[in-house]
Amino acid sequence: MAKRIEASGISAYYGAFKAIEDINMVIEPKSVTALIGPSGCGKSTFLRSINRMHEVLPGARVEGKLTLDSQDLYGRDVDVTAVRRLIGMVFQRPNPFPTMSIYDNVVSGLRLNGVRKRSALDNACEKALRAANLWNEVHTRLSRPGAGLSGGQQQRLCIARAIAVEPQVVLMDEPCSALDPISTLAIEDLIAELKNQYTIVIVTHNMQQAARVSDRTAFFSIEKTGDPGRLIEVDQTTKIFTNPSVKKTEDYITGRFG
Amino acid sequence: MTAAVANALEARRLPRWAPAATAVAAAALAYIVFALGGVLGGGTVLTVVGAVVFFLAGLALASGIVEGSRAARNRIATALIYSAFTLALLPLVSVVFTLVSKGTARLDAEFFGHSMRNIGPQDNSGGAYHAIIGTLEQVAIATLITVPLGTGGAIYIVEYGRGRLALAIRFFVDVMTGIPSIVAGLFILAFWVLIVSPHLSPDGLPFYSGFAASLALSVLMLPTITRSSEEMLRLVPVALREGAYALGIAKWKTIMRIVLPTALPGIVTGVMLAVARAAGETAPVLLVAGGGAGINFSPFHGLQNSLSIFIYDQAGSASKYAPARAWTAALTLVALVLTLTIAAKLLSRRNKLR
C-alpha cells in the first residue's frame, strides 16, 4: 500500500520564475516526512510537483526526475490522472464539494472514476470515514451537505475523500493551518494512524507539529526573495531538531531567522 | 457621578413616531399649499413632490434641533435611500397593476383556445392560441440551441482558453451583446430565409418559419448566456477544481460534475434573463416568421405568430375590441416568463442539499 518516492534534480518554474532548484531527496514508505522552512522557500511547490498538481497552473512546469517505486512520474506517456490516483492530496483550506452530501464527497473520487456499484461505494465510504476518525460523528447524517460540517470535520472529510480512492501516498499542504488546536490534535492523531498504511508527506509552518508527527524532516530555505528555494538538509526528525548537521537549519529551528 | 457616567453614551432621541408624524404633517401641508392653494399651478405630481420635500426638511429640522447634526444627516440619508427604493419600485408596481387591471377583461377560455383566423373588426371574440404556441416553440428552440453553445463557449473561455483566441472570442461575445435585435432579424432574413430556405422547400421559393425566428432569437440570447455563464464559472473556487484533480478525476469530468453543478443556479438565472428578453422580442420575429392569424404548429414551415407580434398587431388595430386582446396577451406574456423563471429557479434549487 505504500511506496517510496525518489526525487532527483527537481526544479519547478512559474513561467520564467524558478521556484525550487535541484531538489534531491528520498521519501520513505509508511512514514511521515515533514517539509519545513520559511515562507516562499518552495515546500508547497515541491509537494505539488510530487503528484503533478504544480503544472495545473498556467505556465508552471517541472524539470528533473521523480519516481514512485522506480516508476517515472514525469514520463512522456504517463497519465496524470493515474499519478494523482496513486498520490492523493489534502489542501490548506478544507475544500469539500459544496453541491455534494457527506457521502457523495467521500465517494466522489471513486464514482467519478467509474465505480458504480452501490455496495462497493457504501463500503468504501464507511472505511474511509472510519479511517479519518469521522464515522462516529457523521454516520447518522451522511446525506447532509459536506459544507455544513465544522472546519476540523471538513478537513477530516477531505482526508477521507483522499484516502477513499486508496492511494499509495498522501500529501498534506499545511492541513491544520486553518484549524483550531483541538481539530489540529485530531488531525495529528489521524496522521499517526495513517502512516501505518500510507506514505505521508506534510508541509507545515508549525515546527512543534513537524516534531510531533514526523519521522523524517526536510528543511527548505532561500537565500533571498526571488531566488529559487533549495533543500538544505533532510534527516531523522530527532536529529534535525536536536543536532542538525547544517548551521542554517539550527538557526531556523532555534528561531534565529525565518 | 455614576449616573453621569452611565448617561455619557446616551443622547436625546426623537420619539419613534416622529418620522411618521412628520410624514403626515408634510403630506397635509403639501395638500393645503399645492392642491388647495394652487401655488405654482398645483396638481397631483407637485403635491407629492412637495410632500417629500417638506418631509425631508421637517425631519432634518426636528432631528437637528433634538438629536444634533450627525443624527440629522443620518435620518436624511436613510429617508433618501427609502425614497429612491420607492421610486425604483413605482414603475414595476404600475406596470403590474396596469396589466392586471386591463388584461383581465379578455382573460377567458376563448382567448386561450382560439386564433385570430376569420375574426373581423366587428368581432369581440378571437384569441392568442396561435401566438402562445409560436412564442413557446420559438423560445424553446432558441433555448435548446443557445444553452449548449453558450455554456460550452463559457467553459472554453474559462477552463481551456489561452492566449489570443480566447481573448478574441471574449471580445466578439461582448460585441454581439450590443447587436440591436432588428439587425439580428435582418441577418437571419438575409441569410436563412432568403438564401438557405429556398434549398429546403420543394418549390425552391423562400419561406417564413418559426425556426428562422428561433435563429434570430438565438443570435440575441447567445452572448447573454455566454457572458453570464462565464462570470458564474469564474466564481467557482480554484480549490474545488484542484480538490477534484487531486483525486485523479479527469479535467472534463471535473468540469461536468463539480464545476458546472456548483455554478448551476447562477447559470440558470442568466439563461432565464436571456429567455425573458427573447420572449419579448418583436421586430426580428416579425421579419422572419411573419406573424399570421392562423394556428401553425410546425415551427419549420410557414407563417407563425408570437405573443409579442400579437400585442403589436392588436395594439395597432382599428377594431375597438383589439386593445383588450393586446392587454391580455401582454399579461399572458409576463405571466409566462414569470412562470418559467420560477420553475427554473425551483429546478436548479432542487439538487441543492438541505
In this predicted model, what pLDDT tens digit does every residue of B111-155 receive, in sequence order? 999 999 988 888 888 899 999 999 999 999 999 999 999 999 999
Residues of A in contact with B264 (CB under 8 A): 99
Nearest CA in chain B to A102: B353
Q: Which amino acid is at B263?
A: A
CA distance B260 to B171: 23
More confident residue, A10 or B349: A10
Kindly list the residues from chain A whose CB atom is less than 8 angstroms away from the CB atom of residue B243.
91, 95-97, 158, 161
CB A33 within 8 A of CB A202: yes
CA–CA dist A199, A87 (Å, integer):
9
Q: What is the mean pLDDT of residues B330-335?
A: 95
Residues of chain B contacting A, Cβ within 8 Å = 162, 237, 239-250, 253-254, 257-258, 261-262, 264, 351-354
d(CA B72, CA B63): 5
DSSP symbol at B290: B
Whether residue A108 and residue B249 make contact (CB cut-off 8 A), yes or no, is yes
By C-alpha distance, which of A220, A194, A209, A164 is closest to A43? A220
What pLDDT, on the 0 to 100 scale, is given for residue B351?
A: 56
Q: Does residue B352 register a pLDDT over 60? A: no
A85 vs B248, B264, B352: nearest CB: B248
Average pLDDT, chain A: 92
Q: Do A143 and B353 make contact, defined as CB atoms within 8 angstroms?
A: yes
pLDDT range class, residue B1, cuts 50, 70, 90: very low
Sole residue written with cell 457616567: B5
Contact yes or no for A93 and B239 at CB 8 A? yes
Rg of chain B taking only CA atoms, in angstroms: 28
| Residue ranges per structural domain of chain B | 9-103, 111-350
On whether the pTM is more than 0.90, the answer is no
Separation of CA A192 from chain center? 14
pLDDT in tens, B71-113: 899 999 999 999 899 999 999 999 999 999 999 989 999 999 9
CATH class label, B111-350: mainly alpha
Q: What is the dihedral of CA B242, B243, B247, B249, to 10 degrees?
A: -60
Q: Angle, to 10 degrees, between the axis of helix B322-350 and the axis of helix B307-315? A: 160
Q: What is the band of B354 on the pLDDT scale with cuts at 50, 70, 90? A: very low
| B-chain residue closest to A80, CA distance | B248
CB A202 within 8 A of CB A213: yes
Nearest to B271 by CA among B225, B312, B216: B225
- Say whether B243 and A91 touch across the interface (CB within 8 A): yes
Q: Taking CB atoms and an 8 Å limit, are B351 and A109 in contact across chains?
A: no
Q: Of A245, A205, A236, give the one whose Cα is nearest residue A218.
A: A236
Q: Please give the C-alpha separations between residue B223 and each of B149, B281, B345, in angstroms, as whole numbers.
A: 10, 16, 21
Give first-to-last CA distance, chain A, whole Å: 36
Of residues A51, A84, A112, nearest to B253 (C-beta): A112
In Å, how far is A71's CA from the nearest CA of chain B? 17
**How far is residue A30's CA from residue A215's CA, in Å, rounded to a whole number?**
10
Cβ partners under 8 Å of residue A224, min gap 6: none
pLDDT in tens, A32-72: 999 999 988 999 999 999 999 999 988 899 999 999 998 89
Cβ distance B248 to A108 less than 8 Å, yes or no, reads no
Min Cα–Cα distance to chain A from B56, Å? 46
Cα separations in angstroms, A233 against A24, A31, B51, B145, B306: 10, 18, 80, 60, 76
Give the residue from B159, B181, B140, B177 showing the smallest Cα distance to B299. Answer: B140
Please answer whether residues B279 and B139 qualify as being in contact, where contact means their C-beta atoms are separated by less than 8 angstroms: yes
CA-CA distance, B91 to A212, in Å (whole number)? Answer: 67
DSSP state letter for A145: B
pLDDT digits (tens, 9 = 90+) for B260-277: 999 999 999 999 999 999
CB contacts of B351 in chain A (<8 Å) are: 99
Instruction: Note the residue count of chain A.
Output: 258
- How far, in Å, CA of B234 to CA of A211, rounded? 40
Here the cell at position A183 is 481539530
Question: Does the CA dihedral A134-A136-A137-A140 come out positive or negative?
Answer: positive
Q: What residues of chain B lie within 8 A of the CB of A98, using their CB?
A: 240, 262
pLDDT of residue B6: 60
- Residue from A47, A150, A41 nearest A102 by CA: A150
DSSP string, B309-327: HHHHHHHT-SSTTHHHHHH
pLDDT digits (tens, 9 = 90+) for B235-245: 999 999 999 99
> Residue range B9-36: average pLDDT?
88
Residue contact A101–B354, C-beta within 8 A: no
A53 phi and psi angles, rounded to 5 deg: -85, -15
User: What is the C-alpha separation between A1 and B38, in angstroms, rounded?
Assistant: 93
| C-alpha cell, B106 | 379578455
Farthest-apart Cα atoms in chain B, separation:
103
Distance from CA of A94 to the nearest CA of B (A): 9
So where are chain A's domains? 5-93+167-253
The CATH number that domain A5-93+167-253 falls under is 3.40.50.300
Q: Which of A52, A81, A107, A173 to mutate to test the interface with B (most CBs of B within 10 A)?
A: A81
Nearest-by-CA chain B residue for A84: B248
